[in-house]
Structure 1
Amino acid sequence: MTTQQQATGAPRTPRFYLALAAGKAAAAVLKLARRRGGQVPGTVAEAICPDFLARIPKPERVVFVTGTNGKTTTSNLLDDILIESGLDLVTNRAGGNIITGIESSLIKGSTVSGAPKNSVACMELDELSCRRVLPHMTPDILLAVNLYRDNFTRNANPDYIFSVIDASVPASTHLVLNADDLISCRLAPQAHRRTYFSIDRLPDDLEGPEGIVCDLTACPECGGHLEYDWCHLRHLGHAHCTSCGFTNPEPDYLVTHVDKRALEFTVREVCHARDGKAPEYTYRIGAYSITNLYNLVAALVTARELGIAAEELQRILASGKVNVTAARFSETSAREMRLVNSASKGENSTATSTALATICGEPGRKAVVLMLADYYLATNPKKTEYIGWYYQADFEHLAGEDVKQVVVQGANSDDLLLRLLLAGVDPARIKLAETETDAADLIDLEGIDGVFCAYDIFNGEQADRFRDRVAQRIEQA
């Protein structure tokens, strides 16, 4: 699909216009009711016109962000950067990352005739939705942040996710890929325009994959022995096959230096080298973790490939206006006690393991609260949550001496208690809570420097209420 074909879409029929009007009416009702319902306009439109996405005109340029972990954060960072740089943007923050959410965003961002109001669309795209969306929206750029194992009952394993994305990417799309991920960096060989980013070896890197489960134990090309040189995070790092020689692609953008104390990192733009010398630019990062660094670098590289000058990106990040969304990470304090909420994406062993590693790597003595049971599943009598993923996640982090207390809240507390005991967490340090208020009241505030809450992404409101109650207790003490 050419840019012009994408902009105009398939022929618009009376059914399409009826679907568009119904979608806009649904969006208006939701706004009046002060409800999000991000997928509702698209769902309504699809019910009337099943090929609605193929027919609605698209913005001139389309950027999608996909991958297993970090795509929401990365997409939000990229949205903020592009908006700050002055681009006219439609996003799906208030919609969703599946086809009906994307349709909803396009409906809200169109005129009554369906013409796009914005020149650029920058949207998060669910991995499995690639097969439904990409036939009708050809992205100018597709950023794939990584591929890990995800929700077992939905995505099975990385090979399955890989196969869906791999077969769906149009040959004309420019791919931005993580060279440190030997799974996702191999995506869609039919797309010849490829840009790779990487983080050079860091002082605190591991010699091999992190955690009790590794998503890449053999060469993805020949099945031979994969020898790791170093790992930044899980299986992300540098490796080579001892049989066929397969290794990481050479990066176009390379993070050469990280200063955690100054909250700065330096990127060498190898692809923009002149006379053998590549320019380097230093950027600010609001809150350092290796995951935050990967997400921000991915967003910066995509912005550079969209034509945003490095100096402009330096200015935007230095302003402090672009940070990891508070829906994923937020920190407050009460009487010098740190109160940190960190999303850990329940039913995802990699995301939870990374969140726990980050929390336990923070300085000082801490209490850790786990709100990992999906709140909405717990309230649905016809559904249950698969708990097998507990045994693929690294709860062993919580056995460290700095973790003085672990409070578990949620419908699966007893199951998680068993997993914590198997992980070597002292049972005397573990308490179970019925509600978020109970969890806050169970925290022993003596002898700790911070309270950290790891919560499922659907439990954000509960995590906020928990933290408010802890802060109240501290202030009243």
Structure 2
Amino acid sequence: MKVFITILVCKLLRFVGKLIGKGSSFPGQIALKLCPDILSRVTLPEYIIAVTGSNGKTSTVEMIAHILSKNGKSVSWNREGSNQIEGVTTLVLSNATMGGKVKSDILLIESDERFARYTFKYIKPTHYVITNLYRDQLTRNGHPEWVFDALKDSICDGTQLILNADDPLVSLFGKDKEDVIWFGADKLSSDTETLESAYNDGAYCPACRKPMTYSTYHYNHIGHYNCTSCGYKRHDTDYTITSVDLDGGEMMIDSKYRITLALKSLYNIYNILSAYTVARIVGIDGAEIASDMNDYVLKNGRVITFELGRRRGTLLTSKHENSISYDQSLRVASAYKEGCDVMIIVDAVSRKYFTSDVSWLWDIDFDMLKSENVGEIVLAGKYVNDLALRFEYTDIPAEKIRCFEDINEAVNYLDSDRKEYIYAITCFSDKGKFLARVKGE
């Protein structure tokens, strides 16, 4: 009876929440108060696939759900990205019968990396994808190694790990384990032999703390690494990006499956590879996956095309206080060969922690905008002076930079007779302030 009442209350609250456009976490919060161990009392499907990591969780989960659904699988997944235990509880109970049985073939869970240990105290994933561990929201998460320790407690015996072999810290989860699936990229044409980043989180081996070497860098500390002291090194991969042509907008997986890219980003190809790996494990044919992912445009609103007067552009939404997320957006803009202007908005620092800490701006590689493909750079928002100071420490000519504290003034400046494409780069909290002034395509 307790299970029945808890599920009923959760479903009712979820129904009301949908009517008012809210409620992805609150129903689960109440359900956990009514029955703290409710997640251990429900009957779950054969496949319970969890996805966590610093970046790419929401996009990867969306892609997995897209592929599996296209191939006849019924999937329950947290579409809103509500990924702490309350949101996961809402997901599970909303998709369960009143008797407590989840009705889908597959339960697909996006989980916050810091709080996964609480969710998976009650739910044991059959497969667990860990995408990456980066510097992320330092006020909340501290250092990636601190997050590693928190995430380590979420891994259950009997769960098959699916790990990014190109991330040395993530790979440490699979050290000396047998039941691990590895994904990663071969040496790519876009790789560098030396680190091109504002900082180096791959300088030291995560296993023995001694200096580590790289034979190739994909981006930041993601690449092929080796510790000459303890022998810790990148693992051979089961599913592999074998080539990428970002200019042409395509990637090859396992030298066999070609996928055309709607978003020409190294960051995006790892999300696609993660989704491909899960789908193959579930039993989907590689050719079918490639077909499903060709030119796939994410529905989560993180990449939005727009019009501003006679000009066209793309809004790239980066994660709050996450330098690698911003780096990947800058990389897309700087590689646009037809020429573009770039707008960067920092009007809110965090959705939760109101510290006004902007130290993370110094971890972003803004020097990428020194590219000959980039024309004007417009800085905007409450923290425009902090942005401007950061840009003083780049090699970008000052005459290319315009600063506006008021976002509307910045948009008005860009609404000109210029024909260059616009890349607007900002975070979740600020994207609506920009979109309110432009026409979505």
Q: Which TM class, normalised by the smaller chain length? A: over 0.9
Letter in 1 for 2:341: A
**Alpha-carbon distance, 1:387 to partner:** 1.0
**Alpha-carbon distance, 1:95 to partner:** 5.3
Match of 2:345 in 1: 371
Matched, 1:329 2:303: yes
Match of 1:467 among 428, 431, 438: 438
Count of residues in Structure 1 that have an aligned counterpart in Structure 2:
441
Match of 2:359 in 1: 388
**Alpha-carbon distance, 1:227 to partner:** 1.4
Matched position secondary structure for 1:62: strand
8 Å Cα contact 1:218/1:225 also seen in 2: yes
Match of 1:443 in 2: 414
Matched, 1:317 2:293: yes
Match of 2:98 in 1: 112
Matched position secondary structure for 1:168: coil
Q: Structure 1 52/95 Cα, relative in aligned 2: closer, same or farther at 3 Å?
A: farther
Matched, 1:295 2:295: no
Q: Deviations over 1:133-174 (max 9, x none)?
A: 111111111111111111101111111111112232012111
Match of 2:282 in 1: 306
The more displaced of 334-343 and 178-187 is: 334-343
- Aligned equivalents of 1:17 and 1:188: distance in 2? 39
- Aligned equivalents of 1:435 and 1:417: distance in 2? 14
Q: Structure 1 56/190 Cα, relative in aligned 2: closer, same or farther at 3 Å?
A: farther
- Aligned equivalents of 1:281 and 1:400: distance in 2? 32
Matched position secondary structure for 2:438: helix
Match of 1:9 in 2: none
Structure 2 unaligned residues grouped into runs of 5+:
none
Matched, 1:344 2:330: no
**Alpha-carbon distance, 1:431 to partner:** 3.1
- Aligned equivalents of 2:377 and 2:432: distance in 1? 20
Match of 1:68 among 54, 69, 83: 54
Aligned-pair identity (%):
27
- Aligned equivalents of 2:232 and 2:244: distance in 1? 28
Q: Deviations over 1:297-355 (max 9, x none)?
A: 1110111011111132133234x5x4333512123457884301101112111211221
8 Å Cα contact 2:25/2:90 also seen in 1: yes
Q: Structure 1 460/79 Cα, relative in aligned 2: closer, same or farther at 3 Å?
A: farther
Match of 1:431 among 402, 405, 427: 402
Q: Deviations over 1:190-221 (max 9, x none)?
A: 75311111211112211133311121211222
Match of 1:234 among 202, 217, 220: 220
- Aligned equivalents of 2:350 and 2:193: distance in 1? 40
Q: Cα RMSD between the aligned structures?
A: 2.5
**What is the 5 A alignment of 1:208-223?**
208-223=194-209
Matched, 1:21 2:34: no
- Aligned equivalents of 1:251 and 1:355: distance in 2? 27
Q: Structure 1 232/43 Cα, relative in aligned 2: closer, same or farther at 3 Å?
A: same
Q: Structure 1 335/468 Cα, relative in aligned 2: closer, same or farther at 3 Å?
A: closer
Letter in 1 for 2:368: H
Letter in 2 for 1:28: F
**Alpha-carbon distance, 1:458 to partner:** 2.7
Structure 1 unaligned residues grouped into runs of 5+:
1-13, 269-278, 472-477
Match of 1:417 among 354, 370, 388: 388
Matched position secondary structure for 1:105: helix
Q: Structure 1 217/376 Cα, relative in aligned 2: closer, same or farther at 3 Å?
A: closer
8 Å Cα contact 2:4/2:99 also seen in 1: yes
Q: Structure 1 357/311 Cα, relative in aligned 2: closer, same or farther at 3 Å?
A: closer
8 Å Cα contact 2:307/2:439 also seen in 1: no
- TM-score w.r.t. length of structure 1: 0.86
Matched, 1:169 2:155: yes
Letter in 2 for 1:304: R
- Aligned equivalents of 1:325 and 1:207: distance in 2? 35
Q: Structure 1 314/100 Cα, relative in aligned 2: closer, same or farther at 3 Å?
A: same
- Aligned equivalents of 1:383 and 1:218: distance in 2? 32
Match of 1:283 among 249, 259, 264: 259
Match of 1:87 among 73, 78, 86: 73
8 Å Cα contact 1:373/1:412 also seen in 2: yes
Q: Structure 1 337/114 Cα, relative in aligned 2: closer, same or farther at 3 Å?
A: same
Letter in 1 for 2:168: L
Match of 2:165 among 171, 174, 179: 179
- Aligned equivalents of 1:345 and 1:220: distance in 2? 25
Letter in 1 for 2:36: P
- Aligned equivalents of 1:466 and 1:443: distance in 2? 11
- Aligned equivalents of 1:455 and 1:465: distance in 2? 14
Matched position secondary structure for 1:248: coil
8 Å Cα contact 1:292/1:324 also seen in 2: no
